[in-house]
Amino acid sequence: MNYSEKFRVKPGGTVRLDKIDAAFKGKHEDQASALGEIERYTQRLRELQYLLYAEGSRSLLIILQAMDAGGKDGTINHVLGNMNPQGVNVFGFKVPSAEEAAHDFLWRIHQAAPHRGQVAIFNRSHYEDVLVSRVHNLVPKKVWSKRYDLINDFEKNLVDNGTHILKFYLHISKSEQLRRFKQRIDDPARHWKISASDYSEREYWDDYAKAFEAALSKCSTAHAPWFVIPANHKWFRNLAVSQIVVETLESLKMEFPKPTVDIKEIRQKYHLAEQEEDAKNGKKPKGKNRK
């Protein structure tokens, strides 16, 4: 099934999160049956990212947003963690520092945008400024309500400069969130993940859902689409995200760049054919260029 199409939020369309099944599993019954497919996509992702890096002309920005415990960290680890670290940067956006808060809300984001050949992954993003800021009235409505257009313009600017943008909302149900919080409470190795605000923010679930719905429908554009990924099942989330990233990178029709040196000349100058022949016959190399 083509998940790019299925989960993409149509530009201008309305989104009702409570109508979208967070436990959707597609054709696979369980993780075991999906593993082979996930493995193929993550492997292909690695190859394509290498190509993006080699080509050095375009870039990819992946934005992850979710309710608390929605699986942003897990997605980075399992799906995107397979890419070559040299070409990937992960940024987590927290409560703005004093310096960040003294600038416009896109200032810190723009600095983290990927440069050519790179992949940038945002764990939270400028969307916090129309989510938490809206839910908790951190700024007045007349300020946050203008931000949707500002975000669309900002993203358009990045796209016009060669960045491909994919935005994933990892959709979990309210009961799944509670189950994950409980796991964190019960497992000492996960205690560090539970924060004081997790349970208190949960009380704002409906407000967050409304804020997400607004962001998803106002900011899913042809140039920078949002995808709502059913994420109760971590393996399904991994499958869908990796498939969509792979399809996007495939569509770029990337090619390894032409060599900047004359390969034929190097072959002749350093007698590469003879060296290979000698090596095959077990002969010792001779001559000053034969190491």
List of residues contacting ligand AMP (CB under 6 A): 92-96, 124, 128-129, 132-133, 138, 197
| Residue with tokens 């190399």, as numbered in its chain | 285
Between CA 111 and CA 16 the distance in angstroms is 33
Q: Where does this chain touch Mg ion (CB under 5 A) — which range of 20-28, 60-68, 71-79, 211-219?
A: 60-68
What is 10-38 written as a DSSP string? PTT----GGGS-TT--TT-SSHHHHHHHH
From the list Mg ion, ligand AMP, none, which binds 156 (C-beta under 5 to 8 Å, kind-based)?
A: none
Give least dist CB 237 to Mg ion, A. 17
Indicate the residue among 137 and 281 with the shorter CB distance to ligand AMP: 137
Indicate the residue among 192 and 256 with the shorter CB distance to ligand AMP: 192
Closest CA to 220 of 123, 125, 164, 152: 152
From the list Mg ion, ligand AMP, none, which binds 98 (C-beta under 5 to 8 Å, kind-based)?
A: none
Give least dist CB 95 to ligand AMP, A. 4
From the list Mg ion, ligand AMP, none, which binds 96 (C-beta under 5 to 8 Å, kind-based)?
A: ligand AMP
Between CA 81 and CA 165 the distance in angstroms is 18
Taking CB atoms, the residue at the shortest distance from ligand AMP is 128
Between CA 211 and CA 127 the distance in angstroms is 10
Give least dist CB 213 to ligand AMP, A. 17
Site string for Mg ion, 66-95 (x = CB under 5 A): --x---------------------------
Q: What order do you get walking across the sheet with 119-123 strand by strand? A: 88-92, 119-123, 59-66, 163-171, 226-230
Closest CA to 112 of 87, 140, 93: 93
Residues in touch with Mg ion (CB under 5 A):
68
